[in-house]
C-alpha cells in the first residue's frame, strides 16, 4: 500500500510513473528500468529483506547498465540499516513515516 501511495504522490507532482506491481524480482525491475529508460528506480521493501535484495540489485544495475539512474529505497527500513544501503549505492532511503513531500523534493533536486 505504501508504494501505491508514493505512486499517487509522484503522479500528483507531475511525474510519469511506471508501477510494476508487487512481488517483482530484481531482474524484472531492472529490465523494466532499462527498457523504459527511466530516470529513477524506487524499490519498496517491507519484509526486512532489503539488504540481500539490494546487494543483488546492485549487480543487476551493473549488468543492465542502469547505474546512472537515481536509486531510491523505501519501506520498512530500520534506521541502523541506512548506511549499509547507501554503501551499496542507494541514493536515498525513505523509511515508513517519511513525508511524501520529502520524496518528491529529493527526486526534483537529484534526478539526473
Partner 1 sequence: MNRKQEGAPVVINESGIEIKPVYDAADVALSGGAERVGDPGEFPFTRGIHRQMYRKRPWTMRQYAGFGTPRETNERFHYLIEQGQTGLNVAFDLPTQVGLDSDAAMAEGEVGRVGMAVDTLEDFEIAFDGIDLEKITVSLTINGAAAVLMAMYFALAEKRGYDLEKLRGTAQNDILKEFVGRGTWIFPVEPSIRLVGDTIIHCAEHVPRYSPVSVCGYHIRESGADPVQEMAYGFCIAQAYIDHVLERGLDIDEFASRLSFNFDIHGNFFEQISKFRAGRRLWAHIIRDTYGARKPQSMWLRMIAGGGGGGLTIEQPENNIVRGAYYALISALSGTQTMALCSFDEAYTIPSARAARTSLRTMQILIEEMGLCDTVDPLGGSYYVETLTNEMEERIKSVMAAVSEEGGIVRAIAEGNIQSAVSRQAYEHLRKIESGDVRKVGVNCYQIDEDQPDIEFHPVKEEECRAKIAGLEKVRAERDNARVTDALRAVRDAARAGDNVMPAIIAAVTAYATVGEITDCLVEVYGRFPEPIRF
CB of 73 to partner 1, least distance (A): 14
For residues 42 and 107, what is the distance between their CA atoms, to the nearest angstrom? 10
CB of 112 to partner 1, least distance (A): 26
CB of 92 to partner 1, least distance (A): 18
Taking the least distance from each CB to partner 1, the nearer of 14 and 97 is 97
CB of 70 to partner 1, least distance (A): 22
Q: What does the binding site for partner 1 look like in residue numbers (CB under 8 A)?
A: 1, 4-5, 7-9, 11, 19, 21-23, 25, 47-49, 51-53, 56, 76, 78-80, 95-97, 99-101
Taking the least distance from each CB to partner 1, the nearer of 55 and 108 is 55
What angle separates helix 2-12 from helix 100-110, to the nearest 10 degrees? 60
CA distances from 27 to 57, 58, 96, 105, 111 (A): 8, 11, 25, 28, 23
How many other CB atoms are there within 10 angstroms of residue 69's CB atom? Answer: 20
Taking the least distance from each CB to partner 1, the nearer of 4 and 108 is 4
Cα angle, residue 58 at apex, residues 52 and 62 outer, rounded to 5° = 150
Amino acid at each position: 500500500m505504501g508504494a501505491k501511495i508514493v505512486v499517487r504522490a509522484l503522479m500528483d507532482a507531475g511525474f510519469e510513473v511506471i508501477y510494476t506491481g508487487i512481488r517483482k524480482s530484481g531482474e524484472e525491475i531492472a529490465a523494466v528500468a532499462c527498457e523504459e529508460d527511466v530516470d529513477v528506480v524506487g524499490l519498496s521493501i517491507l519484509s526486512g529483506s532489503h539488504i540481500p535484495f539490494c546487494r543483488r540489485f546492485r549487480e543487476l544495475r551493473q549488468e543492465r547498465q542502469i547505474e546512472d539512474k537515481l536509486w531510491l529505497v523505501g519501506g520498512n527500513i530500520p534506521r541502523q540499516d541506512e548506511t549499509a544501503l547507501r554503501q551499496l549505492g542507494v541514493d536515498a532511503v525513505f523509511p515508513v513515516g517519511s513525508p511524501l513531500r520529502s520524496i518528491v523534493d529529493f527526486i526534483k533536486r537529484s534526478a539526473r
